Amino acid sequence: MKKKIIKTISGAMAAAIILSGCNSPQLKIDSEDEEAVEDSGEADSENESDEESTNESEEASTKGTEDEETEAKESDADSSADASDAASDADEESDSAKKDNDNDSKKKTDESEFEDITDYDSTVMLDGEELTEDELSDIQDFLNQHENNGFVATSYRTPDKANWNEVFYGGAGIENCDYPDEALDAYLDAIGEDFVEYDLIALSGDDVRSYVESKTGITDFDISLLDGFTYIEEYDILFDQVSDTNHVNIVCEEGIRRDDLIQVLVYGEMQKVGELGDYRRISLIETGDSDNPYMFYSNRELWEDYADSVIEASVYGTDETITCATSGTEYGPDIAIIEDNAVEDIIYPRLSDIDLSDFNDVKEIAFCDVNGDDLTDMVLILSDGDDTVAVVCDAHEYYEGYIEYSQGSSAVTIWLSDNVKKLTADNVIEYILNHQDEYNEL
């Protein structure tokens, strides 16, 4: 099985914005109260001239009031029209804002932070309703399907943290797309080859994005996360070649249901799911869709169950530590580097001229760039109960961004045993740093 790099991506969902409509402005007209007319005795004493003057004044006042009412009605009509236009504009602006925010939300879903609902760091199952044998059998069949099996052998706290190269290795059950000869030529030029040597995988970007959404709920998947493939952007096609498979037949041993969350404990059939051990705890979300009944949420390798010891390895010259799990074998110890409760890498210390089969007691682990190549090497102090040896596993870049460690050098181990009186990680590192030329010759 080819080794892959577990990559992570992170982000946040956009909130919807709803604009409220405008209230129509209303025009209020205040009318003055007419003065009361004095009693008839006083009215009779008024002369005719006064009566005429009064009548003329009343006519003028009435006319003025009618004009004001007319202007008020016209003003009110204009204001209502303006208010209606303003409300219409506000509605259009609100609809536009909603559409923009819906689009933004869809674009940013794949960058969202998933809430950890599975108690991922725990080594035990959640409390819930125990699954029946039939339910376990159905889920087992689902996980063993080619299109789903890539999610089994990669660890992830939430679906956006999955190793997508592992998920899509072999095509994830997606049919090869129709591609023009120009796209294939561009792929071959990109990898510096003249022909296709192994089985060709050709996945359209749309098929990949649709697949990820259906299996995890992540929308607008970032194609660049599939760095194990060669992406020909002009044609939106991902190419790769494979000569083997990463398929793992698994057995569901037990499981629970809590609301729409399913957790199952699985182990590999005929081969290990994890490099150091058998068991993983996979969490699924029930969808209610018979064609796609589950979405993948998390996959926790239960590395603690098979570790002989867990060591917080020092990083020389700093306060940092790296979590390592050790497991003894008939050939010597295996050392797993743990990151976010996932096995990121495994180192196999093995010496050509020294038998380490009895040196499974790992006393110390330290990391330091001992040869000046800007890569952090691993220093191990091992014991068989009587003797102690130091093994240095040099780091080297296997390909860009991926570091591998050597199995160690018998000559270096003998050299250190001959020259360092007390074999501790700090003493070994300081001796190597003070004798760089000798170490590099070895």
Q: Count CB atoms within 10 A of the CB of residue 101.
A: 15
* φ/ψ of residue 171, rounded to 5: 100, -10
**Token duo for residue 254:** 């037990």
- Residue 101's pLDDT is what? 46
Task: Please provide the average confidence, as pLDDT, over all residues in the chain.
Answer: 80
Q: Are 321 and 314 in contact (CB under 8 A)?
A: yes
- Residue 116's pLDDT is what? 84
DSSP lists the bridge partners of residue 288 as none
- Residue 49's pLDDT is what? 44
**Tokens 């569901």 map to which residue?**
252
Q: Where is pLDDT greater, at 27 or 78?
A: 78
Q: Report in angstroms the alpha-carbon separations of 49 from 43, 45, 46, 53, 383.
A: 12, 12, 8, 6, 133
Q: Report how far residue 97's alpha carbon sits from residue 323's, in angstroms, rounded to the nearest whole number.
A: 48
Q: Report how far residue 360's alpha carbon sits from residue 244's, in angstroms, rounded to the nearest whole number.
A: 33
Residue 31 in this model has a pLDDT that exceeds 50: no
Mean pLDDT is lowest, of 109-113, 128-132, 150-154, 283-287, for: 109-113
- Residue 358's pLDDT is what? 97
- Residue 320's pLDDT is what? 96
Q: Are 250 and 143 in contact (CB under 8 A)?
A: yes
Average pLDDT over residues 327-344: 94
pLDDT digits (tens, 9 = 90+) for 160-215: 999 999 999 999 999 999 999 999 999 999 999 999 999 999 999 999 999 999 99
- Residue 39's pLDDT is what? 44
pLDDT digits (tens, 9 = 90+) for 140-159: 999 999 999 999 989 999 99
- Strand pairing category for 230-232 and 279-286: unpaired
In the chain, % of residues over pLDDT 90: 65
Q: Report how far residue 227's alpha carbon sits from residue 221's, in angstroms, rounded to the nearest whole number.
A: 13
Residue 55 carries which DSSP code?
A: H
pLDDT digits (tens, 9 = 90+) for 338-385: 999 998 999 999 999 999 999 999 999 999 999 999 999 999 999 999
Residue 400 in this model has a pLDDT that exceeds 50: yes
In the chain, % of residues over pLDDT 70: 73
- Residue 297's pLDDT is what? 97
Q: Count CB atoms within 10 A of the CB of residue 140.
A: 18
Q: Are 277 and 303 in contact (CB under 8 A)?
A: yes
Sheet with 332-339, side-by-side order of all strands: 342-347, 332-339, 321-329, 309-315, 361-368, 377-383, 388-393
- Residue 311's pLDDT is what? 97
> Which residues, other chains included, contact 429 with Cβ-Cβ below 8 Å and sequence gap of 6+?
316, 366, 368, 370, 379
Q: What is the pTM of this model?
A: 0.70
Q: Report in angstroms the alpha-carbon separations of 226 from 101, 230, 325, 439.
A: 28, 8, 28, 39
Q: Report how far residue 144's alpha carbon sits from residue 148's, in angstroms, rounded to the nearest whole number.
A: 7
Residue 108 in this model has a pLDDT that exceeds 80: no
Q: How confident is the model at residue 66 (pLDDT cuts 50, 70, 90)?
A: very low
Q: How confident is the model at residue 42 (pLDDT cuts 50, 70, 90)?
A: very low
Q: Report how far residue 405's alpha carbon sits from residue 346's, in angstroms, rounded to the nearest whole number.
A: 9
- Residue 268's pLDDT is what? 85
